[in-house]
């Protein structure tokens, strides 16, 4: 029997092989295999999430086997309070996006094989404790995502896929150079993330150079302004389930990289670059909000809102305070549930109307009230309404940032006003006013679509009311990291 963390990686890989061996035309069997594998992954991720001892903290469920002894590479897996929430949201969104993928009708076998490889790569990234292994999983994610956008995407799919691939590969190459430099600078040479933690005597100049190399890899994935330009194209052209995974999981790999690698291994450089991260975060928050407000394409509006909302994560990470780090990690989790749900809702509308032009709708609240209710709740969560999960995480990020970077925090608050503006304007154009006669026969959201949305809705409401349930889980880990960094504020 596979250990828990290894099963998160090898169950989807085994399912991918089973899908590839399935005779062509057996569409239902392919969907069943993929869904069963994603269900197992979700159950294991939920087990790890609920069994993790947040009070004890530290690495748990550790697996360590020598892999390439000649260069001291180990198959080394483990989870702590930082990775456990990411594993859970990845498992949940992987299952929901798999069910949402039932609408894929062309080359179904190839689609689900690549999808399962993507799931394995994402989960491997969140559990790897060896830099070599981390980089392998990081790069594995790139290949299936390229094909999932480039083959099953929209009219400009090739352009969006190539742009995504070039941007992320370029960032990954700089990250690889940083990893190699850390390996050769360590004594003895090691890729072990935990052994490298604390800087191992690395000088400030060395830390700055390596921090910048890693920063390019992580910043492009987040994406931090001005490295964001690949994101709207990828989102707009990707199939709806892949947009969900892209927003809900892939963007978090970048911010996770800061928490898992850059900050613990390069603490002095992290503190030195804090002010610059805060400035980039504020620009991203405001810029993303203004550009989202100008969009008429529903999906592109949600894509630019991701640039704005991920800016709050970077702002929280820039201040080295308990509330800042807690808010950043909680925002990573909440953004996955909220924006993942919004992309699913965009897909529901597009499947019926075959357009995403916000100006072509109107009055749908009376025609499809269940859909309207779901869209309203997810939008209110995204704009940060108290009582829903988005409010708590953004408030914590701002609370942590204010004592350290007061004027940057005040500027960042404009992102909340802009968020309310573009989301309420979207609701007005889609749901309110007279019904467009073209949509008088539009069908209500169906059971399969509700299945993909209701779990996210429950999490949004529950964490909006009881955020301490997840904060207690990862708080000891984030607080220990802040202490090790010599936090700027508490």
d(CA 278, CA 24): 51
Q: Whole-prediction pTM value?
A: 0.91
Inform me whether the pLDDT recorded for 1 exceeds 70.
Answer: no
What's residue 489's pLDDT?
42
Neighbours of 146 (CB within 10 A): 20
Helices first, then strands: H and E counts in the chain: 23, 2
285 pLDDT tier (thresholds 50, 70, 90) = very high
* String of DSSP letters for 175-238: HHHHHHHHHHHSSS---BHHHHTT-TT--HHHHHHHHHHHHHHHHHHTTPTTS-THHHHHHHHS
d(CA 80, CA 476): 10
Tens of pLDDT, residue by residue over 354-397, are 888 888 888 888 888 999 999 999 999 998 889 899 899 999 99
Least confident of 2-6, 34-38, 241-245: 2-6
- Residue 105 CB contacts under 8 Å (≥ 6 apart), including other chains: none
d(CA 267, CA 475): 19
């Amino acid at each position: 029997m596979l250990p828990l963390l290894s099963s998160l990686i090898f169950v989807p890989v085994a399912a991918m092989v089973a899908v590839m061996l399935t005779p062509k035309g057996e569409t239902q069997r392919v969907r069943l295999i993929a869904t069963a594998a994603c269900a197992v992954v979700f159950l294991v991720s939920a087990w790890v999430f609920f069994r993790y001892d947040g009070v004890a903290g530290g690495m748990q469920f550790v697996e360590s086997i020598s892999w390439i002894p000649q260069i001291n590479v180990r198959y080394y897996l483990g989870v702590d309070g930082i990775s456990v929430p990411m594993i859970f949201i990845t498992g949940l969104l992987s299952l929901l996006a798999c069910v949402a993928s039932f609408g894929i009708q062309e080359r179904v076998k190839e689609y689900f094989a690549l999808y399962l490889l993507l799931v394995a790569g994402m989960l491997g990234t969140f559990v790897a404790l060896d830099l070599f292994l981390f980089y392998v999983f990081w790069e594995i994610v790139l290949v299936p995502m390229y094909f999932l956008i480039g083959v099953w995407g929209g009219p400009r799919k090739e352009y969006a896929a190539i742009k995504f691939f070039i941007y992320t590969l370029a960032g990954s190459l700089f990250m690889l150079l940083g990893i190699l430099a850390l390996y050769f600078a360590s004594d003895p040479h090691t890729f072990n993330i935990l052994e490298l933690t604390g800087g191992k005597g690395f000088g400030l100049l060395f830390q700055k150079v390596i921090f910048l190399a890693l920063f390019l890899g992580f910043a492009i994935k987040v994406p931090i302004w001005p490295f964001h330009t690949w994101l709207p194209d990828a989102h707009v052209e990707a199939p709806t389930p892949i947009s969900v995974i892209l927003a809900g999981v892939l963007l978090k790999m970048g911010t996770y990289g800061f928490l898992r690698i850059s900050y613990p291994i390069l603490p002095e450089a992290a503190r030195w670059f804090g002010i610059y991260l805060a400035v980039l975060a504020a620009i991203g928050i405001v810029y993303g909000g203004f550009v989202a407000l100008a969009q008429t394409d529903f999906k592109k509006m949600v894509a630019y809102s991701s640039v704005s909302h991920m800016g709050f994560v970077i702002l929280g990470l820039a201040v080295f305070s308990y509330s800042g780090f807690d808010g950043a990690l909680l925002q990573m989790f909440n953004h996955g549930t909220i924006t993942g749900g919004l992309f699913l809702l965009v897909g529901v509308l597009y499947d019926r109307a075959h357009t995403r032009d916000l100006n072509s709708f109107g009055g749908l609240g009376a025609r499809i009230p269940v859909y309207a209710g779901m869209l309203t709740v997810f939008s209110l969560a995204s704009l940060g309404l108290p009582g829903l999960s988005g409010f708590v995480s953004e408030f914590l990020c701002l609370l942590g940032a204010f004592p350290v970077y007061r004027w940057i925090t005040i500027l960042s608050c404009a992102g909340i006003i802009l968020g309310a503006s573009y989301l309420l304007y979207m609701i007005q154009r889609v749901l309110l006013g007279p019904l467009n006669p073209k949509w008088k026969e539009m069908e209500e959201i169906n059971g399969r679509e509700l299945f993909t949305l209701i779990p996210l809705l429950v999490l949004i409401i529950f964490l909006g009311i009881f955020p301490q349930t997840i904060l207690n889980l990862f708080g000891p880990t984030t607080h220990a990291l802040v202490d090790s960094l010599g936090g700027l504020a508490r």
